C-alpha cells in the first residue's frame, strides 16, 4: 500500500513539474505572450505513433530489466516479518523483540542492513535483500522468534513488585518487608531464586521466572504485602541540638541514628537513619534543602534514591531499600538513608526547599 501511494505521488509530482515547466516557459525572453496552443511541430510529435520495430514492439530495445519483486514492506504483519526481525536481530540491526509487525523500527533496521550489505537503501525487503539476509543468518529458533516477555525489572515500582517480594520472602530469598520498589536488593533476591530454580540468572523477572515462582508459592496475604512497620518513638525535644529548636529543621543525630522533623521546637516525626561509611562519611554541620527529587537515580553510583532531599553537594536524605532490607549491616555513600518508606514519602511532601538541615553528633 505504501509503495502504491509513493508511485502515485511520484507520477503526480512529475506531472506537476511538467505543467510548471510549461508555465515558466510560457513567455519569451522578450516578454512576448505565448501562443494559445502548442506549436505545429510539437503537436505532430505528440500525436505521431511510435515506430513499429517489426516485431510488434513499441520501438524500444527491450533492454530494461523487470522490476524486482517486493517481499515485505512497511505495514505488513506476518510470521515472515517476525522471521525478518529475528534474522536482523542476529546481525545486531534489530534491537527490540520480534513482533511480526513491519513498523518504523523494522524499516530502520532493514535500511541499516541494506547500507551495511551494500544494497540500495530503501527500507523495503526485495528478493535480493531477503536472499542476502537469509544467506548471512541462520533459521531462527522458536525462542528467537517468540522470546520470553519481561514481567518486571530494575526500577519498577508497583503492587506486582510488592507481590514478587512477598513471594520471594516465602522462599527465604527476600529478607525484609516488601516495599514495591525493584532495586538492588530485589535484583539480588531474584538472582538467588533463579539460581536455586535452575533458571537463567538475570536478576530480571521474565515470564518463565514469574511462572515458576507463582507455582512454588501462595498468593500473599494482606499482612505479607503490608506488614506493620516498627516506627521509633518521637525524639524528645530536649535531647535535640539547640540549632534544631527554631524554624523548620531536619534534625539528624549521628549518636542516636535518628532524624527528627522539627517545627518551631515541636517534634513532628522521628525516623531511623544510617550514614555514610568511613571512607564516604556524612558531613556534619548546618545546611538547607536546596533541591528535591522524588524519583532520583544516582548517576555516580547507578542506584535509586527515591524521595531525595539534597542538602550538601551530592549528599541527601532519601529512602534506601538496602537499609530497609539489611538494616545497619550496610552504609550509604555519604547520604542519610531512611528505611521507613511511608514516613519519608510523607516527609518529602511536607519539607520545602530552603528548610534547614542540621547533622550533628
Q: Catalogue the active-site residues.
A: 318, 335
- Contact in structure between 226 and 165 (CB atoms under 8 Å): no
Question: What gap in Å lies between CA 53 and CA 215, rounded to an integer?
Answer: 79
CA 334 from centroid of its chain's CA atoms: 29
- Contact in structure between 334 and 233 (CB atoms under 8 Å): no
Give the residues across from 206 on adjacent strands: 150
Element (H, E) at 250: strand 248-253
The pairing of strands 125-126 and 356-360 is unpaired
- Contact in structure between 339 and 232 (CB atoms under 8 Å): no
Give alpha helix (H) positions in the chain: 2-24, 40-47, 79-90, 104-117, 127-136, 142-145, 159-170, 184-197, 207-216, 222-225, 321-326, 341-350
Question: What gap in Å lies between CA 355 and CA 264, rounded to an integer?
Answer: 12
Q: Kindly write down the DSSP assignment for every residue of 54-100, as one continuous string.
A: SSSS-S--S-PPPPPPEEE-TT-BSHHHHHHHHHHHHTTS--S---S
Q: At what angle do helices 184-197 and 159-170 cross, to 10 degrees?
A: 50
State whether residue 328 is helix, strand or coil.
helix
What residue has cell string 514516613? 343
The pairing of strands 315-319 and 336-338 is parallel
Question: What gap in Å lies between CA 347 and CA 336, rounded to an integer?
Answer: 14
CB atoms within 10 A of CB 15: 10
Amino acid at each position: 500500500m505504501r509503495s502504491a501511494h509513493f508511485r502515485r505521488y511520484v507520477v503526480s509530482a512529475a506531472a506537476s513539474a511538467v505543467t510548471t515547466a510549461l508555465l515558466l516557459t510560457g513567455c519569451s525572453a522578450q516578454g512576448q505572450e505565448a501562443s494559445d496552443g502548442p506549436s505545429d511541430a510539437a503537436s505532430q510529435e505528440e500525436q505521431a505513433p511510435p515506430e513499429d520495430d517489426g516485431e510488434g514492439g513499441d520501438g524500444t530495445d527491450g533492454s530494461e530489466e523487470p522490476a524486482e519483486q517486493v517481499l515485505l514492506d512497511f505495514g505488513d504483519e506476518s510470521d515472515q516479518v517476525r522471521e525478518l526481525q529475528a534474522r536482523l536481530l542476529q546481525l545486531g540491526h534489530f534491537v527490540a523483540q520480534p513482533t511480526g509487525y513491519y513498523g518504523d523500527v523494522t524499516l530502520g533496521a532493514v535500511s541499516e542492513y541494506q547500507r551495511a550489505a551494500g544494497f540500495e537503501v530503501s527500507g523495503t525487503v526485495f528478493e535480493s535483500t531477503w536472499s542476502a539476509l537469509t544467506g548471512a543468518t541462520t533459521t531462527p529458533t522458536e525462542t528467537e522468534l517468540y522470546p520470553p516477555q519481561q514481567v518486571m525489572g530494575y526500577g519498577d515500582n508497583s503492587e506486582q513488585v510488592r507481590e514478587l517480594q512477598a513471594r520471594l520472602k516465602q522462599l527465604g530469598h527476600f529478607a525484609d518487608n516488601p516495599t514495591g520498589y525493584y532495586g538492588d536488593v530485589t535484583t539480588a533476591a531474584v538472582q538467588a531464586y533463579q539460581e536455586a530454580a535452575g533458571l537463567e540468572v538475570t536478576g530480571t523477572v521474565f515470564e518463565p521466572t514469574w511462572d515458576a515462582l507463582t507455582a512454588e508459592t501462595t498468593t500473599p496475604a494482606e499482612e505479607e504485602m503490608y506488614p506493620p512497620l516498627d516506627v521509633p518513638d518521637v525524639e524528645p525535644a530536649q535531647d535535640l541540638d539547640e540549632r534544631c529548636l527554631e524554624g523548620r529543621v531536619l534534625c539528624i543525630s549521628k549518636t542516636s541514628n535518628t532524624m527528627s522533623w522539627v517545627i518551631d521546637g515541636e517534634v513532628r516525626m522521628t525516623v531511623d537513619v544510617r550514614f555514610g561509611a568511613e571512607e564516604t562519611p556524612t558531613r556534619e554541620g548546618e545546611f538547607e534543602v536546596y533541591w528535591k527529587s522524588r524519583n532520583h537515580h544516582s548517576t555516580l553510583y547507578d542506584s535509586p534514591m527515591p524521595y531525595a532531599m539534597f542538602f550538601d553537594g551530592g549528599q541527601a536524605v532519601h529512602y534506601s531499600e538496602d537499609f530497609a532490607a539489611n538494616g545497619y549491616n550496610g552504609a550509604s555513600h555519604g547520604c542519610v538513608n531512611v528505611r521507613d518508606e511511608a514516613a519519608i514519602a510523607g516527609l518529602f511532601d511536607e519539607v520545602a526547599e530552603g528548610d534547614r538541615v542540621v547533622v550533628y553528633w
